[in-house]
Structure 1
């Protein structure tokens, strides 16, 4: 289904299950269906909203440049339009960045945050994957690659503003430097960091439910 959040943007989403509200946010170039396996497990315990970001999936295709603040405001408006309270944001990659930015904003509806493999800055990329993104941008001029090369720009000092319990995860072989995740863990007052052995950036979340019980336990704790 779709909901109009502004004069120009409609967000596509699917909702299923009953219980506390959980919003799932995908990464760059993906859509809500990366979470299908996870939703099949979480819906027994939660009301799960899986959302397509603008210019992704079945949401509005603006064909215009956008940034992480735009994406974050979209989700804020989505939550407001649906009048949701006591929300857990579970975001992967770009979605994990959005989760952190909502936490920094201290939105009143937030209950908990789960940020999967986010980064704070383009400087957090390991060299090899960064070179691949740079090459793809040279080939395609895709604005989404441009955004990844220039954003986010989150000052680690801002993370202290996140006052809700926050779970940070990363694969052992993630795209970003481990030191950045340690920084996030130290800066957020109620942060818990899990480095997942044997996993890469997306292997533990895309098209899999392997983290379902860990997420359920953290949200209900």
Structure 2
């Protein structure tokens, strides 16, 4: 496994890892997490793909020289990572906010994306269930009443933001897309189904008795579904 730092144009350091052989596949973690989220998936997926993992700006081992954090900014970061590593095209697999980032990136930079796997995406704050909404609001209140912890405040604020993605943007996606969601997910199934119907080449799989962290709870099944989708013509 190769690890290192990529310095962006604004001097922000982005941590990355790469492992495996085959077609390129980026694994994008969720809010407040880092690349280690996929630790149970690397072994099997790296047998089939050349995996790239990053810690988003303000997450994990990555920095942030700006006093803001948005999905648009992170999509531009990912584009710079592609440029720095000489990647012309890659599959994207995103979990939660990583799925949201994958959506934004594929809309902004469609020529760089092959197939797209979205695990528990939500384009709007109201796409989450009530309990999740309460947790997100409480997390934001907690970090904002503290005098420091600007990084945590910026990361938590993403939970409350709607994506700047509309129906027309979803309809313009020409990639083959797989959406994975657990029947007990924090994301409302109705919201996920609504995303699915606006993307032409989109397949939705609802996994029974699985919550938000599907990739960690049932990594064997998760890996199997990912490999099957990416390998099929």
TM-score, normalised to structure 1, is 0.94
Q: Paired residue for 2:148?
A: none
Check the 8 A contact 1:106/1:161 in 2, yes or no: no
Aligned match of 1:218: 229
The equivalent position to 1:151 in structure 2, one of 154, 158, 162, is 162
Q: Aligned pair in 2 of structure 1 residues 78, 106: CA closer, same or farther (>3 Å)?
A: closer
Supply the RMSD in Å over aligned alpha carbons: 1.5
Paired residue total: 220
2:195 is equivalent to residue 184 of structure 1: yes
> In the alignment, which of 209, 215, 219 is matched to residue 209 of structure 1?
219
1:64-103 CA distance string (max 9 Å, x none): 2211111111111111221212310111011100111122
- Counterpart secondary structure, 1:173: coil
Contact 2:40 2:215 survives alignment (8 Å): no
TM-score (norm 2): 0.89
List runs of 5+ in structure 1 lacking aligned partners: none
Contact 1:119 1:176 in 2 (8 A): yes
Within 2, Cα distance between the matches of 1:6 and 1:62? 10
Do 1:121 and 1:154's aligned partners in 2 also have CA atoms closer than 8 Å?
Answer: no
Aligned to 1:92: 95
Shift of 1:151: 2.8
More helix by share: 2
In the alignment, structure 1 residue 114 sits paired with structure 2 residue 117: yes
Alpha-carbon contact 1:35-1:207 (below 8 Å) kept: no
- Structure 1 residue 104 displacement after superposition: 1.8
